[in-house]
Structure 1
């Protein structure tokens, strides 16, 4: 008899209560023949599909792509080789294996949900069935989007595979993006249109119609930019993308928090809190793994960026990954509240931090930095694996900037309005507005704004690539008198990551390595 493992995640943190949607006791082992029969079975399977969102350690995609961008270096200690290789675009056969595994595990679990819902006894009310299907479609799209951005040429799997079916050939990116767009359209059409104020607190972290529409906008901008297309593989047009984003802006109830620094836990008592009105979609974390390395309940990326070797109050300790490039600090305008809220300047904050390690710059992440006052040990957790700050995957400010970009050649007045809202909040006045114009000049203003607004949130590398490989290379290349900071983007890779050698070896020739990674 086939066995299935249904994982569950616990989403309660010390900062925010009532995260009960995914608070389920872990399921050990159930027989497939007697499972997928009740709505409760279906929910447990859906929770397992959500669970994979939490996975990621030193190779978390947010951290990896920030290191690969122009805004961060590799950092860490002498033995932390993968970070330095991502920074310098160097070969390393299996550096990306965990990400490849993570995303295909998530896709498999979403496919299980999609394939089993017709066998569940829903009774006379199929509302739950429709919602669970929509959430599973969103999750599959989310996993595939990260996967295809990283690797470009990936197998397209839409049903659970059995032994003997694993050597699936690589699909064209067009086919993968067509599936992503179709999945998100289904999710947007079938998830309830509940405004932010009406979402039960117990369901924060659960996919919404607004998250699906916002992600569709992100997918549209990346695919059309990176591949030079006018629409997403004949599935979503630019006007449709505009409509989706405008709907999030006008109907979702999400809005900007009054002060940018209050978005981050480093604000401490002034922190607006998780699940605030700017959080369109977040990946939830908790300290409740309580030091169990077999669980992935905590935000393990946080310890990676912590102050290496020791705590530097008010900030807590970690491994010193992703030191911030001083060029990012210097690029902010005077008066921009986002600079000191996004980046820690050891000098500007008067901190004592004599530790020495490779690529130390004196600038570190403030967003997502573990804090002395909010550390896992205070709740009997382990500082390495039980940090509990949620990752905000889609923020309303990002939605506004996507709307400005999409409307730049359509409704310039609307584009300006969206852009102004972000600028006004950043400077706390209306004196720093800039006038958008159609074409390259207006696009550059928006892309610059995205860099400052979304710094260290995992968007910069993709924003560079979708402007073209030459733009990415010009930004990422770094020349220094200190050789450890020399970086040269390799355009022959087209910004794609190295497919793990283990997967190539196991594929019996069905997988081919991406260009630029064969040497």
Structure 2
């Protein structure tokens, strides 16, 4: 599959969502002094994860930062800046979750003996940096939550407060699924509150649900948000995901009904873009489109590095790391299930133009004769402008999109009532996929499935629609270890046994793969956590 790379001219956003130094609106000029204060605070806010403090650090003052909507908005930009940072959604979230998802391999040789073999180290940079950055984001949320009055009558201030609750809930949801019970920090940090024990998983989920419920009541609708920020329905989608996670593999769980009650609020409020390729082909069609529910905004000052992770060094004039590549079974399964699915060409790339000349072929367009040829690339984040001298670009990263919501509703409805009323949701996704190609007849609408058949099919449909978009780790583990082993570990090991290549990685049958290790820096520096608190198997 050869994809023609387009020359794109990225357009930076004048109103920067994340990096506070790019705020250029005239109404913010008088905020420069506040910005300078905030910049210092942000720089020193890497707390909860390092050495002891001799005195309480400076924190956001309600008198000079939160007295106005503009000041509070600058603080909120600091939270979004943490989300868009290299150690969160710009890179290390993908390093940590893709390599351990059971669907990707690392192009970095040293990763292939540990994290890419489902055995990350507690001292490894990816899960450690991700842990740190998520707590940086939480710390900034806590400053906002502590300083904006809960009884404010200002809708804009309430919106900012609600956004902080949503972003904190979202990040704790990532933490609890990836690491299990984690320290709960819910107030501005000081030397007195720096050290916290691991909370129970139940306690973490209680906070997530409480925060998301507050977010629903405080946030404005998406149409009233600026710069691509999420509307209140993003909190409903978050809660639906939470209840699905809590339901696990218990088909009779009351949490399925709770998940439905949240997800159905989002149904019909967004729409699929007409062509699946529009999600990936150009900034004009990819960024802040009708399908986006929660999107990480990148721009010239705070740009995405996803292209670097997913692009080889010889595909453009700049530098690619070719760090993350799909396992061969991912494209095998997709083409076996839906040979004519137009999504395949927008998900994978196996033939590309070499820069400055030549053509490169990899699996399945080439034999798996060596590691470099043995795996396809993920087209979604592959370089689109081969003349670019840098991988940095303004393509946003969508964390929640409407197609995911439709697949969730299909799964939920099937668990509650069987497939009869579930087809409508998944078939909307399949129809868009079909209509994304010329005269494509696949993927065909589903019909005539038993409940267990629908369940098995929908769990794999997430992969066909959303591969590489940040959900693979969670979907694979949500129904427990036996599900993960059968559908990921065993499928992978069976596939690589066919080729018997010495560069392929055999996944171990080990339940420790259900969680990442608590970073050793946290165990060594947090006085309320010891080595005995480490996750099993690490």
Aligned-partner SS, 2:203: helix
1:418 aligned to 2:419? no
Equivalent residues of 2:297, 2:397 under 8 A apart: yes
In structure 2, the partner of 1:337 is 342
Query: 1:131 deviation in Å?
Result: 1.0
How far apart, CA to CA, are the structure 1 residues paired with 2:171 and 2:387?
A: 30
Query: 1:337 deviation in Å?
Result: 0.8
Query: 1:472 deviation in Å?
Result: 1.2
Equivalent residues of 1:73, 1:359 under 8 A apart: no
TM norm structure 1: 0.82
Does the C-alpha gap of structure 1 residues 166 and 20 become closer, same or farther in structure 2, counting only changes over 3 Å?
closer
Equivalent residues of 2:234, 2:294 under 8 A apart: yes
Aligned-partner SS, 1:483: coil
1:151 aligned to 2:190? no
> For residues 15-51 of structure 1, what are the alpha-carbon distances to aligned partners after superposition, in whole Å with 9 as ceiling and x for unaligned?
4656555574372326755423332221122211221
How far apart, CA to CA, are the structure 2 residues paired with 1:49 and 1:300?
A: 18
In structure 2, the partner of 1:245 is 263
Structure 1: state its 5+ residue gaps.
1-12, 232-236, 289-296
Equivalent residues of 1:73, 1:322 under 8 A apart: yes
How far apart, CA to CA, are the structure 2 residues paired with 1:110 and 1:449?
A: 34
How far apart, CA to CA, are the structure 2 residues paired with 1:86 and 1:244?
A: 35
Query: 1:212 deviation in Å?
Result: 1.3
In structure 2, the partner of 1:305 is 310
How far apart, CA to CA, are the structure 2 residues paired with 1:141 and 1:83?
A: 32
> For residues 67-92 of structure 1, what are the alpha-carbon distances to aligned partners after superposition, in whole Å with 9 as ceiling and x for unaligned?
2223211113x4xx246522102342
Aligned-partner SS, 2:380: coil
1:28 aligned to 2:36? yes
- Shifted more, 428-437 versus 404-413: the winner is 428-437
How far apart, CA to CA, are the structure 1 residues paired with 2:384 and 2:113?
A: 25
In structure 1, the partner of 2:526 is 507
Does the C-alpha gap of structure 1 residues 327 and 69 become closer, same or farther in structure 2, counting only changes over 3 Å?
same
In structure 1, the partner of 2:118 is 89
In structure 2, the partner of 1:453 is 465
Equivalent residues of 2:315, 2:386 under 8 A apart: no
Does the C-alpha gap of structure 1 residues 407 and 91 become closer, same or farther in structure 2, counting only changes over 3 Å?
closer
Equivalent residues of 1:60, 1:301 under 8 A apart: no
In structure 2, the partner of 1:351 is 359
Query: 1:116 deviation in Å?
Result: 0.6
In structure 1, the partner of 2:241 is 218
CA RMSD of aligned residues (A): 3.1
How far apart, CA to CA, are the structure 2 residues paired with 1:221 and 1:103?
A: 22
Query: 1:66 deviation in Å?
Result: 2.0
Equivalent residues of 1:73, 1:87 under 8 A apart: yes
Structure 2: state its 5+ residue gaps.
1-8, 23-34, 39-57
Does the C-alpha gap of structure 1 residues 346 and 14 become closer, same or farther in structure 2, counting only changes over 3 Å?
closer
> For residues 227-276 of structure 1, what are the alpha-carbon distances to aligned partners after superposition, in whole Å with 9 as ceiling and x for unaligned?
99935xxxxx43232122112112x2x111111112103xx49x623111
How far apart, CA to CA, are the structure 2 residues paired with 1:150 and 1:263?
A: 27
1:264 aligned to 2:280? yes
In structure 2, the partner of 1:69 is 101
- Shifted more, 222-231 versus 278-287: the winner is 222-231
Aligned-partner SS, 2:293: strand
